[in-house]
Structures are given as C-alpha cells and as structure tokens.
Structure 1
C-alpha cells in the first residue's frame, strides 16, 4: 500500500515527485508552502481552499516547508483532526526549532523521502510497557502537585498499577502533602540504582511508599540535593519504571531554562535536567494553568519552551482554580479564547476553585478524591482523566505518539464512559 502525500514546498519542485514515487509514496497534490496554512486558517475563502482541505483529508502525510507562514497552529490542528502526519522540511536551526515547538517530525531537504516513508511505518512489535505522564505548570503554584496526586489516585481506581514520583528539583512537596516520610530512598535512590544498573521492578517496589493503591517515590528532602537527579539517571529510572507499573505520574518543577549550556561548555550538572528529561520521556504531558491573569500570562510565555521540551508527546491543558472572582464573568470562555489565540490550544479542561475540599485533603494528608469524593474538584479531575488521559490500548515497546499539538481534541473511550456513569451515580 503506497503512502499518500501532499507536498507543500517552495524548495522542492514537481521534479521531486519522481523521487518520492521511487520510495513508494504517491503524491496527490503539489502546492506552494503556505497553501495548506492559508486553507486551514479560513476554509470558506473559496473553492481552492476546499480542494486543499479535501486533499489533506485523503492524505497520509503532509510534507511542508518549515516556516512561520507555512507551519501554523491552525494547520497542525487540522492535520490532527484528519489524522495526517506532518513532516517539516527544515533548512536551518530556526526552522527546526519552530517544528519542534509543534512536536512534528523534521528532516533536511535531502532526506524528505525517507522521512515521509518513516512517518507511517508500522511500529515494531514487542511487549507493552508502562506509560509516563508528566505534570508540569509554570511558576506561581498553579496546583500541579495537588493535581498530580489526584490524577494518580483516579487512575488507580480502575485497578491499574499506578506510581507517583516527585522529580521536582526546586520545591518537592508530594511527601509533605501525603504525610509520607521524605527521609527514605525515594526517587533519588531509584536514579542512583539506575546509574549502577541495579534498578529493577523488585527494587522499585521495595523503596516505594504506599498511598492507598498508589506507590509513591518521594522526592529529595532538600532542594540542594538536585545534582543527584541528572538527566542520564532520571532517564534510566523512568525506563525501569515502565516495567514496574502501568502508569507513572511524575511531578516536575516549573523552570525549563537551559542556561548552563549557554554560559559554559563544560559537561556538568544541570539544575533543570530532571524536568527536561521527564518531559522528553513522557507519553502524555499535563500542563496546569492557574485561572488568574498572572497564571495565564506565565503559561502563555512558557508554552513554546514546554512544547519544545515535550517533543511529540501530546499536551493536555488543565486550568486549575477556576473562579469568576479573578477573571470576571464567564471565566472559562475568557481563558479558552486566550489560550486559543496566543498558543493555539483549542481544547482544555477546567478544575473549579474548591478551597474547602483542598484544605480538608491537606489536613488529612490524603487525596481530595478520598477525603471529599463528591466535591467539585474531585469530579472535575475524574472527568479530565476519563476524557484526556484514559489508559490507551497496549502499544509496542519503544514507540511514542507520532505527533500532537496543544489543540488536541478530547476523545473519550469506553473507560471514559464508565467514569461518567460512576460520576452520575455518585451525584445522584
């Protein structure tokens, strides 16, 4: 079966069609670089735009020049909706950074044929592995640790093997919020064992602390210990965790800067290495936004760095502490319009401000879902898990989601429907 390709390039002309054909790719349409983006921006501009979108809907791959006019959030969202993979043709470092911000595949002009074929190549078979879910949020306490705990507890309700790890090198707090001891081995010990090659599922089970049905790897008890969480150590520990649990939820710090690589060429410890390593390895990234003007502004400014760090992993945006007192009337619509306009995020979920339930959870050092299962906060997290990160079917080892943007639309499955039924029964 041939690969159907739409070629949108000012660098590669019609003569390149024969080269793609030799590699088993059938080029259905050749257009200028900005034609798909123009059609995605306004589908009612005329017959040409409709034909362009129709060709995209029937294609498997869109090979397009990387550029701000050609590779846009609207185009990425349209391709996500059609199930079309994007291969960005990059002619320099700036083009590659732009493509990485959207999490699409990149290639040089000389490697387009191989990249197009590889984009739809079947994944190698192998045993199913656990999934890594990173929970990130910008500076300012948007509530990422609280939501990481709630997401882990909610996933464990279906009988899945779930673990929660604290990889925050600036302000680790999972142990304090859950009443667990942070003097034990925890995630840092897992990282050291991974470096020595002695980390196994049995060792992870030994050093983890129980929080109901969730196994917890506590974080470092002093921020000054951050050099223990190097990139190589964290990456090795995460790979072993995939063999230990079905879902690993990892709480990470807010900063995404790589300043050390700019000011020094010496290979040394990086303060934000743990966060960047977790985001690079994650299968799903939950981005937490605080529903106030400062929180939204910080998220908008940090989102491009998050998108570049997460690579191809889908980003699910969760707006926390939603209330009208900080944003005025119709706070949800205001946040939704802002995120869609400035960062191209078309789908997001909301968690209401429920200080009573959150305070009760802190007082009892338990997840909100256990202390106040019928609270609005717990119900919102339950809906988010069911719609945005419901456990997927088992997939092959070593594979990652092909591509996603912040505009991913929710697609509830059978598990989501079961969660919805439970929520309705609980509210009855």
Structure 2
C-alpha cells in the first residue's frame, strides 16, 4: 500500500518528481507552500508522512508531537550535522538534500513504521493536547524511559502531589530536596505548579525569569543539553550541601509555556544529570478541560499529569484535618484514574492535636482505615508553625533554620533511608512529642 505524503519547501519539486517516478511505495498527495499549510494537511488525516525540503529550523518538539499524535511522521532534509542532531532529538528523521528518491522513500517508510509502533491508532484526550496520544502509549513510553534510565544508572524522578487547599506540597518538595542534597546526592528541584508556583519565594530566590520555562523552550527546540540546563537553573546552597532549582512561572497566566512534550524532555535531561529530580506539581488532575476539548490548545494541567506519568515515585500529601483528609481521599481516587500506575506514598501534614483531638496519630489512622483507600499512611508530619515561619522569613530550608524541629526530622526520615538521629537528648524528644500532639 502506498504511503500518502505531503511536502513543503522551495526545493520540493525535484523530490516530488523523483518520488512520483518510483510509482509505488509513496504517493505525494499535496505540495504545501508553508509549514502551517503542511500542519493543517497532516491534522486533516490527508497524509501519513511529511517531507520538509527546506525550513527545518521551524520544527519544534511541540509541533512534531502534534503531527505524530495525528499519526504523521516527518522527514527533514539538511546537510548540517548539528541541525540533524537537533532534529533527531525532537523525533524528526533527518536526510541529506542530495538523497536519491528510492532512499528517501525507504526513510519515509521507516519513519512511518516507527510512529505507528510508538503511538496507538486509537487516540483519546489524556496527554498535553486534546488530540494527543492515549494514556496507554504515554504510560508505556514513560515506563520504557524509566527502565532505560535505571539500566544506565541515571537518577529517579520523585513527584510531590496533593489536592487543593495548600496541604504543603511546596514545603515538602523543597525540604525533601534539601535533605537528599545533605546526604551527598545531586538533586534538581523542579517547580511545575501551573497555578501557584512558589518554590522561588520559599527559598528567597530573586529570580525574575522562569527557569523551567526557559528549559522547556530549549527542549522544544531540541537544544537542551547539560550546559543549557545549568544556565536555566539556579544553585541553592545549604550548610550541608547544594541543589539546583528550575524555578516556576513568574505569573500564573504563563502556564502555557510548560507544554507536556517539552517538560518530558526537561525531566529526562535532569534525570540524566542528577541522582534525584524532585518535582513540585500542581493540584489539579483534570484532563477534560472545556476550552481545549475540541482543539489543539495546550492544557493547563498537562505539566502536572506528565510529571506524575514519568515519575518513578509519587508522594501524595494531605492536610491532617476535617477538610484536608476528605480532599486527599477524593484526590487519590482521581489520581488512580488519571495515572493508574502511580502507587503514591501517602503523607499527612500539619498533624496537631487541636484539629484532630487526643492522640492524633491514632485518630487519623482509624479514620483512614474506615474511609481511606487501600494502603497505610506512611508518615505523619507534625505541625510546626514556628519552624515554617522562620524558614519562610529567612528564605531557607528547615535543615538550616530549624534542624532539630520535629517536622524537619520527620521529613528526613521519610526520604532518607539511612537517616540517623545523632543526638537523642531528652529535651529534643520531649519537644518533638509535644509538637506532634499539640
């Protein structure tokens, strides 16, 4: 069966003539004058492949993903080795401009087979775009990526998620990064919250540009390497170590810059560079947003969903009170539906006697057994407003401003398997117990 092909570029005439003389493997169904026309033809289902004769510099990762989601593979002609490398990194098959028609047809066939293997024929609405690939292929690709990363000795991605209502996602993510860095691990902290990015505020970083948005732009263009990632991120130093931060968007209306395909590449690049990538996600898991239901518009929750999809580990945090607990229970049900393989570690934050009653851990545990989903609560993080206020006021982490606080010690025990309490003074133990049962 002949493969329908669309072409674009001033140099397409010779290509079309050569392909037509083959009379077999491919058929040119439209000659486009510009890339926008080619994109429209591909999205209409007219073609299974596109040949970009000139102007490959206009191709981005987002554009390629949109075309591949429509089942269209792309072959671009270039004789620049650097451009060819960039094209390969965003999923385009490069070929020399002087390629003969038979070899070009073979490249088109291989590219089409590759796209069909990668994406399912059935498409539903569960990725960064409304026409994007189904969750099964996305999850399969994410799983394959995780397996490859583990085999090559690369790092892991840890996503911190929680429902609406400020359960403490950012506080937990920031201090997890600090605790891991204190053990000697290389850590990259990513602020992927598209509703209220606040990592830079919590750490007192006077950064007017969004580091994650910069990294996503470079990833979309296929030029994100280790040096570029370093330029986009900031290094935060503590007394026990340092970690790098990709700051979030400076305004909530800039969420469109965090496209799912580009964010995937950023997280994979960060994983290759660091032992652990800690992602502070947003709260919302809705994928069926009204404004993008029938369009190719990007989705605001794509950054959160993609972060959870590619994460090796998910920590779900909820507030330990009469409002936070039901929200967490409902949120975990939504998470199970949105990302079935997430298997989150459940953490209750802000545990205090005044909001739960006597013996708060016992009360919360019994309530969870009755109303919560399958699985136990892994950690109870005590409320410590004084330590949190001190950290926010000084723009530092708990490890620096309140190293002996019960909250800091609980976070360290949660993420550091080899964490040891070096000092066991009765005064500190008494204070920790008092904070936990306050």
TM range (shorter): 0.5 to 0.7
Matches within 5 A, 1:21-36: none
Superposed CA deviations along residues 21-80 of structure 1, whole A, max 9, x for unmatched, are xxxxxxxxxxxxxxxxxxxxxxxxxxxxxxxxxxxxxxxxxxxxxxxxxxxxxxxxxxxx
1:197 Cα deviation (Å)? 0.8
Q: Residue in 1 aligned with 2:278?
A: 249
State the Cα distance separating 1:268 from its structure 2 match. 1.2
Pairing 1:142–2:152 present: no
Tell whether the 8 Å contact from 1:379 to 1:423 is kept in structure 2 after alignment: no
Match of 2:408 in 1: 378
Q: Which residue of 1 aligns with 2:420?
A: 420
Pair 1:368-2:393 in alignment: no
In 2, Cα distance between the equivalents of 1:242 and 1:372?
30
| Conserved 8 A contact 2:209-2:250 | no
CA distance in 2, matches of 1:254, 1:372: 28
Of residues 151, 158, 169, the one that matches 1:133 is 158
Distance in 1, Cα, partners of 2:385 & 2:189: 23
Q: Which runs of 5+ in 1 are unaligned?
A: 1-105, 107-118, 387-415
- Quote how far apart the aligned CAs of 1:356 are: 0.7
Structure possessing the higher relative contact order (Cα contacts under 8 Å, 6 or more residues apart) = 1
Q: Distance in 1 between matches of 2:249 and 2:155?
A: 24
Q: Please, which of 305, 319, 323 is the counterpart of residue 290 of structure 1?
A: 319
Q: Measured at CA, do residues 299 and 357 of structure 1 come closer, stay the same or move farther in structure 2, by a change above 3 Å?
A: same
Query: TM-score, normalising length from structure 2?
Result: 0.60
2:333 and 2:411 map into 1 onto residues whose CA distance is: 25
Equivalence for 2:215: 190
Q: 1:248 to 1:329 in 2, by over 3 A?
A: same
Whether the 8 Å contact between 1:336 and 1:348 is mirrored in structure 2 is: no
For the residues of structure 2 that align with 1:320 and 1:217, how far apart are their CA atoms? 25
State the alpha-carbon separation in 2 of the partners of residues 265 and 128 from structure 1: 41
2:273 and 2:356 map into 1 onto residues whose CA distance is 43
Q: Is the 8 A contact 1:322 1:352 kept in 2?
A: yes
SS in 2 for 1:166: strand
Give the TM-score taking structure 1 as reference length. 0.62
Larger Rg: 2
| Structure-to-structure mapping, 1:34-113, within 5 angstroms | none
Q: For the structure 1 residues 223 and 423, does the alpha-carbon distance in structure 2 shift closer, same or farther, using more than 3 Å as the test?
A: farther
| Structure 2 portions without partners, runs of 5+ | 1-135, 137-142, 430-438
Corresponding residue SS for 2:185: coil
RMSD over aligned CA atoms reads 2.7
- 2:233 aligned to which of 208, 211, 223: 208
Could you tell me how far apart the structure 2 residues matched to 1:254 and 1:238 are? 19
Distance (whole Å) between structure 1 residues aligned to residue 354 and residue 401 of structure 2: 26
